Amino acid sequence: MCYFNRFFWLLLIFFLRVDALININPRLGVSRKMDKQHKPKTSSSPNSVEEVETFYYTQRLDHFNYRPDSYATFQQRYMINSQYWAGPNSSAPIFAYLGAEEPVDDDINVVGFLRENAPQFNALIVYIEHRYYGKSIPFGGSMKRAMKNANSRGYFNSAQAIADYAAVLLQLKERLSAQTSPIIVIGGSYGGMLASWFRLKYPHVALGALASSAPILYFNGVAPQAGYYYIVTKDFKEASESCYQTIRKSWSEIDSVAKMPNGLSILSKTFKTCRKLENSSELRNYLDSIYTDAAQYNKPPNYPVTVMCEAIDAAANKTDTLGQIFEGLVAFNGNKSCYDTNQYNQPTETNIGWGWQSCSEMVMPIGHDRDDTMFPPAPFDMESFVAECRSLYGVLPQPHWVTTYYGGPDLKLILHRFASNIIFSNGLRDPYSSGGVLEDISDSIMAVSTVNGSHCLDILEARPSDPEWLVKQRETEINIIKGWIAKYQADTVALNKQVHH
């Protein structure tokens, strides 16, 4: 298998991929557009489902340097929903959504946790966009321009991003005279890592964090590299043993057909690819992305993995292995005139941005080197990874940096001893849960996991069809947050008396 493709694909799997969440075939999941209750659109964001006001903060390009060019600024977008807020002096909390690797307005459309729970807290809601995405792109506002040279993309990293959030939130509290309002930061996936790291690094800004599906242990050898693929495999195996076996044996069939005369034409026809396949790994990588996508976003009520496996199994007596695999693809992606094997490699902001982030500091060594998943072995090879990143971006990845700055092998012990007020929520069917915190670490570092959940489910919009375990997961989280705020409000007076005497 061509390493480059595999490698680049590896870069691309780690997206919250909001588009994947909302564009899934309606047969598989209830699409957003079908069940959304649109509110009056007074928002400046035309596609928003929530009444928000948009603001821009003049943000420093580099918080950790005093070179003249580090003093450059950019406009960072954030949005406020104040309709539930009890106002200044109320000490009502602020829910702050920490944007991740996509434009923040995309997130507002699918993340319901803040607006659904703000009313009972009388909370202010703020959504902050991550630098280099959406409307918060330095160097003129264009992603292409910001990413085109090595100097302008150097400022694009997580430490700068969470420093941005601190600056935005402190000015917001000051501007709104909300100094006594505790802030709860919320994020999912990469944004969930940012939320937990934010609580660790800026406890004077955020009282607590909800880190949804945050694989903070998937760095520098802390969690086993094979975890991701083990869980994808387990998901399929649990849905159907025969489906799992069919997928498992399909890879060698693809290779056998590819080696035949006109083999690539045959494969292209069998899988109705939009363009003729250039090699078999193009197809293999595409299918790999389909399976991992289905597993990562294996959400109720229909569960894509189950739907795929039902289609694969149902075709067993009608067609051969590759025909079965194609039926699974159709079940997942819908009945189309053709299938684009580049579906996951589009130059979206997310792909461009995360490609860089994972090649600079967010080095997650995801691979699997043994014959014990439904995928062919594909170990993570750091040496090749480094070489590829270097050839793509001209700089070396820093795989040790995340664990140096945020904590590494002993992170759970450190969280136990030092930290407080973080919820790590995970769905155990989410492949990224293999890098997540899955046990309670202390009475305020809590794991809220669901056996049947997938990626970021808890923070997505609630739906009438949500299963009881998901409703309960969200309730548990809200009760924990209520506890933090009650404790905060109860002891602030006492502490002020004690400390500020």
Asked if 469 interacts with a copy of itself (CB under 8 A), we say no
> By C-beta, is 156 or 375 nearer to a copy of itself?
156
Asked if 34 interacts with a copy of itself (CB under 8 A), we say no
Spatial neighbors of 238 by CB under 8 A, at least 6 apart, are none
Stretch that binds a copy of itself, among 27-35, 138-146, 368-376, 418-426 (CB under 8 A): 418-426
State the distance between the two ends of the chain, measured CA to CA, in whole angstroms.
68
Which helix (H) or strand (E) segment holds residue 35: the answer is helix 32-35
Asked if 482 interacts with a copy of itself (CB under 8 A), we say no
Determine which one of 212, 455, 458, 466 is catalytic.
455
Among 267, 411, 459, 485, binds a copy of itself (CB under 8 A): 411
Among 33, 71, 269, 369, binds a copy of itself (CB under 8 A): 71
Asked if 66 interacts with a copy of itself (CB under 8 A), we say yes
Whether 189 is catalytic is yes
Ordered alpha helix ranges (H), 260-318: 263-270, 280-296, 304-314
Ordered alpha helix ranges (H), 185-303: 190-201, 227-239, 241-259, 263-270, 280-296
Stretch that binds a copy of itself, among 41-49, 157-165, 226-234, 244-252 (CB under 8 A): 157-165
> By C-beta, is 206 or 330 nearer to a copy of itself?
206
Among 401, 424, 473, 481, binds a copy of itself (CB under 8 A): 401
Whether 455 is catalytic is yes
Sign, Cα dihedral of 377, 381, 386, 387: negative
In whole angstroms, what is the distance from residue 52 CA to residue 80 CA?
5
In whole angstroms, what is the distance from residue 93 CA to residue 112 CA?
17
Determine which one of 48, 189, 196, 268 is catalytic.
189
Beta bridge partners of 378: 368
Among 266, 414, 428, 478, binds a copy of itself (CB under 8 A): 414
> DSSP secondary-structure letter at 58?
E
Among 258, 419, 459, 470, binds a copy of itself (CB under 8 A): 419
Token pair of 17, please? Answer: 């991929």
Asked if 396 interacts with a copy of itself (CB under 8 A), we say yes
Q: Closest Cα to residue 211, out of 195, 199, 200, 198?
A: 195
Asked if 261 interacts with a copy of itself (CB under 8 A), we say no
Asked if 244 interacts with a copy of itself (CB under 8 A), we say no
Asked if 439 interacts with a copy of itself (CB under 8 A), we say yes
Cα Rg of the chain (Å, integer): 23
Asked if 177 interacts with a copy of itself (CB under 8 A), we say no
Whether 400 is catalytic is no
User: SS3 string of 38-94?
Assistant: CCCCCCCCCCCCCCCEEEEEEEECCCCCCCHHHHCEEEEEEEEECCCCCCCCCCCCE
In whole angstroms, what is the distance from residue 237 CA to residue 231 CA?
10
> DSSP secondary-structure letter at 500?
-
Among 1, 22, 167, 387, binds a copy of itself (CB under 8 A): 167
Q: What are the Cα distances from residue 218, in Å, to 3, 162, 263, 402, 490?
A: 21, 19, 38, 10, 37
Look at residue 378 and give its three-state secondary structure. strand
In whole angstroms, what is the distance from residue 372 CA to residue 325 CA?
20
Determine which one of 288, 430, 458, 466 is catalytic.
430
Stretch that binds a copy of itself, among 104-112, 166-174, 338-346, 459-467 (CB under 8 A): 166-174
Among 166, 176, 316, 392, binds a copy of itself (CB under 8 A): 166
Q: Closest Cα to residue 371, out of 230, 225, 246?
A: 230
Token pair of 179, please? Answer: 């100094």
Count of residues of this chain found to bind a copy of itself when the rule CB under 8 A is applied:
59
Asked if 297 interacts with a copy of itself (CB under 8 A), we say no
Least gap, CB of 398 to a copy of itself (angstroms): 8
Which residues sit at the interface with a copy of itself, rule CB under 8 A?
A: 62-71, 150-151, 153-157, 159-160, 163, 166-167, 170, 179, 200-201, 203-204, 360-361, 394-396, 398, 401, 404-414, 416-420, 439, 441, 492, 495-496, 499-501
**Which residues are tagged catalytic?**
189, 430, 455
